Amino acid sequence: MIYLHKKSAKKKKGGRWNALILVFSLVLLLLFGSAIAFYFTFLFDLPRLTTLKDYQPYIVSEVFSDDEVLIGEFFVERRMVAPLSQMPRLLIRAFIAAEDARFFKHRGIDYWRILGAAFRNIEAFDVVQGGSTITQQIAKSFFLTPERSFTRKVKEAILAQRIERYLTKNEILYLYLNQIYLGEGAFGVAAAAKTYFGKPVQNLTLAECAVLAGLPPAPNNLSPLRHPKKARERQLYVLNRMVERKMITQKQAQRAAAEEIRLRPKGPKGYNEAPYAIEQVRMYVEEKYGKEKLYKGGLKIYTTISYKMQQAAQAAVLKGLEEFEAREGKGKGRDQVQGALIALDPQTGYILAMVGGRDFSASQFNRATQARRHAGSAFKPVVYAAALDRGFTPATIIVDEPFSYIDVPGKEPWEPQNFDREFWGPITFRKALTFSRNVATVKIAQAIGVDYLVEYAKNLGIKSKLEPNLSLALGAANVSLLELTSSFGVFAAQGYRAEPILITRIVDKDGNILEEIEPSAVEVISPQTSYLITSLMQSVIQDGTGQKARALGRPAAGKTGTTNDTRDAWFIGFIPQRLVAGAWMGYDIEKPLGTHETGAVAALPIWLEFMKEAVAEIPVENFSVPEGIVFVRVDAATGEPVRPGNPTKSGNAISECFKEGTTPLTN
């Protein structure tokens, strides 16, 4: 009986074990099934990798000067894409050494690195090292959110393994080095090279490569611009890692560590030198091609801006404003005096320099192109050129005497006054412009007709609305500095008008030319008229209101301009064929500059300062005399011809220029 009882107990015990095994197996099966379901749920939810083959990141659009100096950028993310072939081999090695030393050995996940990072974090009681590979960083950057969670890490691991099967190692490196954020708004190594060192990525030294490779863990906190000491520590860490991995020698590391790093905290050469011109570019491209193309499309926009002349223009305007403030005893305030300058090639219309104000960051309003101000006496050459085409000559006599004109019946007559409140009596056409006599100019405008004058001005390129009344002769019309300067360019280009051009070419990221703008010019007045008005404006500089411009030391022609109550000061001038420039000074709220602040005092010095730098390398030339121009010796005061051997009434004979067939007759 006892035997039978023991046998039954054993049988009972075996049944329990079988039940436990069955339960355990079911649990394992359930866990395994859940894991598979969990895995496939992730797989179902994971994004497709096809976008990696067709990498289309947001790329910076760049703006270049005429000599291809980078002067501006448009971007959402400041990214420049570069192929691996353009990246220094040492740059690639530096990133691998710092971020993923076993990159070429693992298949997306480095288990040894994860284990090592775990031990280091336990030792430090903190997260001091991560275990993510470069491939995992690609997965996170392209497809996942930055949240820290178990779910995200699992997705990251699965994606990394799939990426390794889908792409080559070089393709992964290409994506990583162009996608990674490296601080100061720079995405990718090419943008970082420009941001920190002001150079193309292919020109980086080993020392610079190590600085960039040290940034990924905390780009802004390790930025050499903000935290040079921390950046230095990371640089040395990267160099040591490269030595440990036999990527460089100890001597190479020592030389790199001793190299002086030259940072470019203000951006590449030329960057932000022409903010008002860059804003003009932005408005044009955004309107024509849209924001998406401008800010994300990686366009290359080539402009007519001369880097050297732009620098000279910026410096000249600021110096002129500072000198004005010193003279008038006025300093910084809400309503500071403003200045503007525009320079063009008169034959092509290319805008070579543009300054629209004293500080673009304070005011984006472009006073060279957007402001419409009274031109004052700077408009007078338009009047005199129109008169030359209506039978006047430089020797024509105009009587400078009191003059009144009833513009509107029933109202008080208009009585224009000269600046000095005096009248000189009979004077020559040349003398009237040389000394900017208001009354004589109004009489000339009355003689040729204001409707004719309006059309003549439009023909020269002045697009602003001009009211057909006699006050137009004294510059009562509101015009922009650009259009007035461009109209003077017709005289400099011997009668040809060229439309102002700022952009010459726009190229997309693939090298396709979207737009190419060629200069074009049309003859609007005769070369003879151009020469005569130029000769008259040479007298303005040699003997008249623009004498300060003689300091340029070469042939030049120009005209000062001062409006009523000295609210605006102008000077527009040019040299033969090559360059025409206009300078303006005034307040935005149109209050007087000061009793003595004329165009000659306030604006001309800005023009002169700019021109001295701008023409330094341009050969000295004389204004060429076209066919159809003859010279006759005349009395400077009366305009009458002087016979050989006979004295003049004024005692001063000059060689005057005329169109053939218009010379004065001898008595």
- How many domains does the structure of the chain reveal? 3
Same domain assignment for residues 245 and 370: no
Tell me the torsion sign for CA atoms 364, 367, 369, 373.
Answer: positive
pLDDT confidence of residue 76: 86
pLDDT confidence of residue 151: 65
- What's the whole-model pTM score? 0.83
pLDDT confidence of residue 121: 47
**Token digits of residue 418:** 């000269």
10 pLDDT more than 60:
no
**Token digits of residue 364:** 């984006």
Answer whether residue 441 is part of any domain.
Answer: yes
Answer whether residue 181 is part of any domain.
Answer: yes
Answer whether residue 42 is part of any domain.
Answer: no
Same domain assignment for residues 153 and 105: yes
Say which range, 106-115, 188-197, 299-308, 382-391, has the weakest mean pLDDT: 106-115
The span from the CA of 626 to the CA of 643, in Å, is 25
Answer whether residue 397 is part of any domain.
Answer: yes
Same domain assignment for residues 417 and 378: yes
pLDDT tens digits, one per residue of 240-277: 999 999 999 999 999 999 999 999 765 556 667 899 99
pLDDT confidence of residue 131: 64
Q: How many CA atoms lie within 13 A of 309 on its CB side?
A: 28
Same domain assignment for residues 252 and 387: no
148 pLDDT more than 80:
no
**CATH number of the domain encompassing residue 343:** 3.40.710.10
Residues 6+ apart with CB under 8 A from 590: 373, 567, 568
652 pLDDT more than 80:
yes
- Domain final residue pick, 212, 235, 258: 258
pLDDT confidence of residue 127: 42
User: What's the rounded mean pLDDT across residues 484-512?
Assistant: 97
Same domain assignment for residues 119 and 240: yes
Same domain assignment for residues 576 and 640: no
User: What's the rounded mean pLDDT across residues 540-564?
Assistant: 96
pLDDT confidence of residue 318: 97
Same domain assignment for residues 558 and 650: no
pLDDT tens digits, one per residue of 580-599: 999 999 999 989 999 899 99
Residues 6+ apart with CB under 8 A from 196: 184, 186, 208, 211, 212, 224, 225, 263, 264
Answer whether residue 561 is part of any domain.
Answer: yes
Same domain assignment for residues 608 and 639: no
549 pLDDT more than 50:
yes
**Nearest 5°: CA angle at 198, between 195 and 204?**
100
> Catalytic site residues?
99, 377
33 pLDDT more than 80:
no
Answer whether residue 537 is part of any domain.
Answer: yes
511 phi and psi, to 5 degrees?
A: 90, 5
**CATH number of the domain encompassing residue 211:** 1.10.3810.10
**Distance between first and last Cα of the chain:** 169
In order of 38, 46, 152, 474, 625, the CA distances from 32 in angstroms are 10, 21, 21, 94, 98
User: What's the rounded mean pLDDT across residues 465-480?
Assistant: 93
Answer whether residue 281 is part of any domain.
Answer: no
* Residue at token pair 């069955």: 22
Same domain assignment for residues 184 and 333: no
**Token digits of residue 375:** 């031109």
Residue with the bigger pLDDT between 525 and 55: it is 525
376 pLDDT more than 50:
yes
Same domain assignment for residues 111 and 194: yes
* Residue 544 domain boundaries: 318-501+523-614
Burial (0-12, 13-18, 19+ Cβ within 10 Å), 248 = buried
Average pLDDT, the chain: 88
325 pLDDT more than 90:
yes
User: What's the rounded mean pLDDT across residues 624-641?
Assistant: 93
Dihedral angle computed from the Cα positions of residues 593, 597, 599 and 605, in that order, rounded to the nearest 10 degrees? -110
Q: What pLDDT band is residue 159 in, cutting at 50, 70 and 90?
A: confident
**3-state class (DSSP) for residue 581:** strand
Same domain assignment for residues 189 and 224: yes
| DSSP-assigned states of every residue in 254-296 | HHHHHSPP---TT-STTTTS-HHHHHHHHHHHHHHH-HHHHHH
101 pLDDT more than 60:
yes
pLDDT confidence of residue 369: 97
pLDDT confidence of residue 149: 57
Q: What is the CA radius of gyration of the chain?
A: 38
651 pLDDT more than 80:
no
Answer whether residue 24 is part of any domain.
Answer: no
**Token digits of residue 247:** 């990527």
569 pLDDT more than 60:
yes
What share of the chain has pLDDT > 70, as a percent?
85
Q: What pLDDT band is residue 450 in, cutting at 50, 70 and 90?
A: very high
Nearest CA to 142 out of 164, 188, 175 is that of: 175
DSSP state of 351: E
Same domain assignment for residues 442 and 588: yes
The span from the CA of 59 to the CA of 44, in Å, is 31
